[in-house]
């Protein structure tokens, strides 16, 4: 996916989760933060950021904050980007071969999953999670407790029981991580739910991205560890479908 009208700036402060103060060309501008997560390890005063100038002149904020540098690595923090970039990847049939249809916002039981796809008489529910948290080269999700995420995992597993396929895809909004693991320290229940879903047959995958100031592109799959124990790498790069 491509952004237009990108400008660089310096992050100043985040008065609340929806807005940030960014220095652009010597002026302080109020920018919309396209991520309601904490991002405390990213949004540090003085770091370089990129903002996207909005097309709508009637908007209350003129810019969207979309990416930030951390230790020399550019990280996209646009919470809408993972679904968009995954859809591009899915439409190219690089994950699932023989696609005949894709539908967004698909309802199942008490949940609404990001996509429902069909391929050769297979029905596939897909949930996408964007990942912006990195520690020591390891990508982690979530960065805050998410009961909604636990519910999604439970209902993805229920899809299997009814004859569907189910996938959860972690789109890591940065490049070059060593592996992905559920953030059990932040939310133990999510880590347990992810392990249970994998045992039930839900396909779990994680993909890093090439990030530039004005683009985001899925790059390659990364290993998954359901535990931080280095001897328990239970999922490696998936084979083609």
Which tens digits make up the pLDDT trace of 126-154? Answer: 999 999 999 999 999 999 999 999 999 99
pLDDT value for 49 = 98
At 36, is the pLDDT very low, low, confident or very high (cuts 50, 70, 90)? confident
Q: Could you give the 3-state DSSP secondary structure of residue 38?
A: coil
pLDDT on residue 54: 87
> Which of 49, 129, 50 has the alpha carbon at shortest distance from 82?
129
Contacts with 97 (C-beta within 8 Å, 6 or more apart), sequence order: 119, 240, 241
Are 64 and 56 in contact by the 8 Å Cβ rule? The answer is: no
pLDDT above 90: residue 38:
no
Give the per-residue pLDDT at 228.
52
- CA angle (226, 158, 101) in 5-degree steps: 95
Do residues 15 and 21 lie in contact, with contact meaning Cβ atoms separated by under 8 Å? yes
pLDDT in tens, 172-221: 999 999 999 999 999 999 999 999 999 999 999 999 999 999 999 999 99
What does the mean pLDDT of the chain come to?
A: 91
Q: For residue 230, with 0-12 CB atoms within 10 Å meaning exposed, 13-18 middle and 19 or more buried, which class applies?
A: exposed
* Residue that is written with structure tokens 């396209």 in the block: 34
- The CA dihedral of 172, 146, 39, 58, to the nearest 10 degrees, is 90
**Mean pLDDT calculated for residue range 112-135:** 95
Contacts of 73 (CB under 8 A, 6+ apart): 134, 174, 175, 176
Does residue 155 sit in helix, strand or coil?
helix
CA–CA distance, 119 with 104 (Å, rounded to integer): 15
42 vs 1: CA distance, rounded Å: 22
């Amino acid at each position: 996916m491509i952004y237009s009208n990108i400008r660089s700036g310096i992050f100043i402060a985040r008065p609340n989760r929806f807005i940030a103060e960014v220095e652009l060309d010597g002026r302080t501008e109020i920018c919309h933060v396209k991520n309601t997560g904490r991002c405390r390890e990213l949004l540090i005063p003085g770091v370089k950021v990129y903002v996207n100038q909005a097309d709508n002149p009637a908007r209350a904020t003129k810019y969207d904050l979309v990416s930030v540098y951390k230790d020399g690595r550019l990280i996209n923090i646009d919470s809408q980007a993972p679904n968009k970039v995954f859809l591009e990847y899915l439409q190219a049939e690089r994950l699932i071969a023989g696609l005949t249809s894709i539908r967004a916002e698909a309802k199942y039981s008490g949940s609404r999953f990001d996509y429902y796809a069909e391929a050769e008489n297979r029905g596939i529910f897909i949930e996408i999670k964007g990942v912006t948290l990195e520690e020591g080269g390891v990508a982690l999700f979530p960065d805050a407790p998410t009961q909604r995420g636990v519910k999604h995992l439970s209902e993805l597993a229920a899809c299997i029981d009814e004859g569907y396929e189910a996938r959860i895809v972690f789109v890591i909004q940065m490049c070059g991580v060593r592996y992905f693991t559920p953030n059990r320290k932040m939310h133990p229940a999510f880590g347990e739910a992810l392990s249970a879903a994998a045992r039930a047959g839900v396909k779990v995958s994680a993909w890093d991205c090439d990030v530039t100031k004005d683009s985001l592109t899925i790059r390659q799959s990364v290993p998954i560890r359901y535990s931080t124990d280095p001897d328990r790498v239970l999922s490696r790069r998936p084979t083609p479908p």
